[in-house]
Amino acid sequence: RTGKVELAIEGMTCASCVGRVEKALRRVPGVLEANVNLATGRATIRYLGDASMSDRLASAVAATGYEARPID
Ligand code: 9UX
């Protein structure tokens, strides 16, 4: 199935940060679309997969050095 998740991300201060986070998210298998908004500190991701995707996406962001938590 396809799903959509929003992550709250902490630590992004510039456009390069946004680029890093989007790149990390787009590399996660199953991700169809990932967009990060610097002003709101939110990432919106559309994916093909199950509900465990939100944790995998948050981990992928954490591995780049930013803190992320899924929002419902
Ligand atoms: Mo530039 Mo954003 O070093 O952390 S990538 S501020």
Note the pTM of the prediction, 2 decimals.
0.94
Chain centre to alpha carbon of residue 13 = 16
Q: pLDDT per residue over 15-30, tens digit each? A: 999 999 999 999 999 9
18 within ligand 1 shell (Cβ under 6 A): no
Question: pLDDT > 90: what percent of the chain?
Answer: 97
Q: Which fold does the domain 2-71 belong to in CATH?
A: Alpha-Beta Plaits (3.30.70)
Residue pair 20/40 in contact by the 8 Å Cβ criterion:
no
Q: What is the DSSP letter of 49?
A: S
Which of 10, 12, 38 maximizes ligand 1 atoms within 8 Å of its Cβ, making it the mutation to test the pocket?
A: 12
**The two structure tokens encoding residue 50:** 């199950």
pLDDT surpasses 90 at 62:
yes
Domain boundaries, the chain: 2-71
